[in-house]
Amino acid sequence: MRVLVTGGAGFIGSHVVTALRERGHEPLVFDVREDPGADVRDPAAVGRALSGVDAVCHQAAMVGLGDGVADAAEYVSHNDLGTAVLLSAMAEAGVGHLVLAGSMVVYGEGRYECPRHGVVRPGPRAVADLDAGRFEPACPVCGDELSPGLVGEDAPADPRNVYATTKLAQEHLAAAWARCTGGSAVSLRYHNVYGPGMPRDTPYAGVASFFRSALARGEAPRVFEDGRQRRDFVDVRDVAAACTLALEAEAAPGVLRAYNTGSGDPHTVGEMARALAAAYGGPEPVVTGEYRLGDVRHITADSSRLRAELGWKPEVGFEEGMAEFARAGMREA
């Protein structure tokens, strides 16, 4: 299979390229890092790149929480305009299978349960609560403490920042393309991806990169809030394997199918910082109490659909992955 990998020279994309080659496919890298003319927002460049292609793995995106709304136009340009241009070119070229780099950020907060009111969806956390160190969302009905759980793919979307909004828009665009063309689309909603080759010293990387970059500078990782926020850290090679399986699978025509893509082994951000610092041999993490507006408290998802339908399972455990990541090289942003 000949696969165009947009963003194929990036962190996740480069691992997807390797995984495809190992399974006997022919990946074609389309990335401005290797060719300044390979901009996914350029219809002519994308059209040329799609010649002879069987499927597309769309990894090119502007990632991370960003800077409030100051860079909103840039996010929309890279993520949504770029996806729209790609999909239009795929329709014209007759390329009918897409695997999209989705994200768990489309859910906003994760799944919560109140002892009295069952499953509830708390709204965005108030600045006054965050300033006072009250980080846990409360029941929107009675104000009681909530228990976090796993969110499934059918949960309502509720993006809480600009980046999350653009990732949801990408899915809607892909779904519209699939309906119009009869193509098949898969969105893999990545959790907190980490691993070898992660970019360093950039405000647009994930929390694992922030901590690893700090350790490389001889500094203590700075853990926001109280460090008890729950996430699912998944190794980049497991994510690349999921992409490959999604490309190889026979997907239903005319629809977009979403899959949570996580390890299934949630940990707190504080636990991750301590594991990484211990493996690196660097300073102990510092819990700062700071916060980023737009961050959510807990988001961990149920990835059983991906396991059941595509036969995927993660191979790299948390302890093993963090120990390796502590020693692995990082790339410049």
Query: 232: buried, middle or exposed (CB in 10 Å: 19+, 13-18, 0-12)?
Result: buried
Do 213 and 330 meet the contact criterion of CB atoms below 8 Å apart? yes
By DSSP bridging, strand 184-190 and strand 97-103 are: parallel
The span from the CA of 236 to the CA of 238, in Å, is: 5
Task: Write the Ramachandran bin of 213: left for phi over 0, alpha for psi from -120 to 50, otherwise beta.
Answer: alpha
C-beta of residue 196 within 8 angstroms of C-beta of residue 262? no
Residue type at position 37: G
Identity (one letter) of the amino acid at 81?
L
Name the β-bridge partners of 148: 112
For 135-171, b where at least 16 C-beta lie within 10 A, e where not — what string?
bbbbbeeeeeebebbbbebebeebbbbbbbbbbbbbb
Which of 107, 112, 163, 194 is flagged as catalytic?
Answer: 163
Q: Where are the alpha helices (DSSP H) in 217-302?
A: 236-248, 269-280
Element holding 298 (H helix, E strand): none
- The candidate with the shortest Cα–Cα distance to 54, out of 5, 101, 96, is 96
163 included as an active-site residue: yes
* Residue 112 CA: distances (Å) to CA of 119, 166, 191: 6, 24, 18
Q: How far apart are the first and last CA of the chain?
A: 30
What are the phi and psi torsion angles at 27 (to 5°)?
-85, 140
Active site residues: 163
